[in-house]
């Protein structure tokens, strides 16, 4: 027992042991017990419709090991009689750990809110979901900027002078990373102006696909063949983007040719026959059908109609039905489709008298 009363660095041994026990207990509660609680709460939160319990689970899960370790050490040190410099260092370390953990918790709140809100709004307004993603990034940057500034203030740094110095050096940094900043401002322009949003089908040059993600530097598009295409945001703004999701209706013009031996009175009835086939189709508005031209080997007709929905599959279904309808109608009327042919005329000369 005398050993426990022995002074060790200005504190009895029993105080050191008690401080160590408190540190271990605090770490055990903050890290081990908290992990078990998160598992139990997570299983319970999946069964409840509310969102508050889900948020609590996510925030508790973001409690870092380093934070628990620093808090436990600081809690144990409160019992000890430490030198002023050591006590100040531990206090500063505790404040930094607390600020960093607060930053993680704030980041988690923003991430949770953005994810849940975007999921709810995506089907109603994909543009709103895209804007929420940008807002989430700005909010996270603001949180960590505040954390860093408060941490520097705790170290005794003159924040006002630092901000002024950053304003001057920021010009040089901006020149060095102008390409990255160009993509960043391009992404903000895309989010604000909304030439396309997540879920839109776009064509850029000879590349096409569905927009999956609009990031700070790149936009990612899933092509029809399955691979992911990554576009630089600045390149996208400099290109001509065709957005098929914003198309309200699709104009279709197609032609066909019949043989030259088709009688004129039969030709005259072809436009009405085509009209009778096109007009009954759902989601279709008939425009016209005309005997357009005398081709090299056919009498050419041109038909124009509109698909009233932007879905490409709907267009192909209607065009297929129209093509089959025309083939059946022409077969009943005895009209033949033309195909490339050439006629060769041979002029035989009369034999000369010498022969």
CATH topology agreement for domains 179-245 and 250-333 = no
pLDDT at site 2: 54
* Helix intervals (H) in the chain: 13-27, 34-45, 52-61, 65-77, 84-122, 126-154, 159-176, 178-193, 233-238, 264-278, 312-333
- Chain-centroid distance, C-alpha 93: 39
Q: Which two tokens stand for residue 10?
A: 């200005």
Above 80 in pLDDT, residue 285? yes
For the chain, which residues make up each domain, given as ranges? 3-157, 179-245, 250-333
Cα–Cα dist 16/13, whole Å: 5
The answer to whether the CB of 184 falls within 8 A of the CB of 141 is no
pLDDT tens readout for residues 149-205: 777 777 776 666 656 555 555 555 554 455 666 666 777 777 777 788 888 889 998
Neighbours of 8 (CB within 10 A): 11
User: At 326, is the pLDDT very low, low, confident or very high (cuts 50, 70, 90)?
Assistant: very high
pLDDT tens readout for residues 293-323: 999 889 999 999 999 988 888 999 999 999 9
**pLDDT averaged over the chain?**
79
The answer to whether the CB of 197 falls within 8 A of the CB of 211 is yes
Above 80 in pLDDT, residue 121? no
pLDDT at site 47: 67
The domain 179-245 is placed in CATH, from the list 2.30.30.60, 3.30.499.10, 3.40.50.1820, 1.10.760.10, at 2.30.30.60
Q: What is the pTM of this model?
A: 0.47
pLDDT tens readout for residues 246-284: 778 889 999 999 999 999 999 999 999 999 999 999 999
- 3-class DSSP state of 353: coil
The domain 250-333 is placed in CATH, from the list 3.40.50.720, 3.30.70.100, 3.40.630.90, 3.40.109.10, at 3.30.70.100
In our burial notation (b when 16+ CB lie closer than 10 A, e otherwise), range 144-159 reads eeebeeebeeeeeeee
Above 90 in pLDDT, residue 75? no
> Looking at per-residue confidence, does 341 or 74 come out higher?
74
Cα–Cα dist 149/166, whole Å: 12
DSSP secondary structure code for residue 262 in this structure: S
Cα–Cα dist 36/56, whole Å: 14
- 3-class DSSP state of 279: coil
């Amino acid at each position: 027992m005398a050993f426990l009363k022995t002074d060790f660095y200005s504190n009895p041994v029993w105080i050191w042991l008690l401080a160590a026990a408190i540190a271990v207990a605090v770490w055990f509660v903050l890290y081990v017990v908290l992990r078990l609680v998160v598992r139990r709460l997570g299983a319970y939160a999946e069964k409840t419709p509310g969102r508050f319990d889900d948020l609590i689970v996510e925030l508790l899960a973001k409690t870092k090991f380093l934070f628990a370790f620093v808090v436990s050490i600081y809690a144990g040190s409160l019992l000890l009689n430490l030198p002023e410099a050591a006590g100040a260092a531990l206090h500063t370390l505790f404040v930094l750990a607390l600020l960093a953990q607060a930053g993680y918790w704030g980041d988690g709140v923003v991430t949770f809110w953005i994810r849940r809100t975007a999921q709810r709004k995506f089907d109603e307004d994909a543009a709103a979901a895209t804007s929420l993603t940008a807002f989430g990034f700005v909010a996270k940057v603001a949180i960590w900027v505040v954390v860093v500034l408060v941490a520097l203030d705790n170290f005794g740094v003159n924040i006002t002078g630092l901000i002024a110095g950053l304003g001057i050096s920021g010009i040089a940094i901006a020149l060095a990373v102008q390409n990255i900043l160009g993509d960043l401002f391009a992404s903000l322009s895309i989010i604000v102006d909304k030439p396309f949003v997540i879920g839109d089908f776009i064509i850029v040059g000879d590349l096409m696909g569905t927009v999956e993600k609009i990031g700070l530097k790149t936009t990612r598009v899933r092509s029809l063949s399955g691979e992911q295409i990554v576009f630089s945001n600045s390149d996208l703004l400099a290109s001509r983007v065709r957005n098929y999701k914003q198309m309200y209706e699709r104009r279709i013009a197609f032609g066909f040719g019949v043989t030259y031996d088709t009688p004129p009175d039969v030709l005259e009835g072809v436009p009405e026959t085509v009209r009778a086939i096109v007009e009954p189709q759902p989601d279709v508005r008939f425009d016209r059908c005309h005997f357009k031209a005398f081709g090299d080997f056919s009498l050419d007709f041109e038909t124009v109609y509109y698909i009233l929905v932007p879905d490409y599959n709907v267009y192909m279904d209607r065009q297929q039905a129209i093509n089959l309808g025309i083939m059946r109608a022409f077969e009943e009327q005895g009209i033949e489709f033309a195909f490339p042919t050439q006629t060769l005329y041979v002029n035989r000369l009369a034999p000369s008298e010498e022969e």
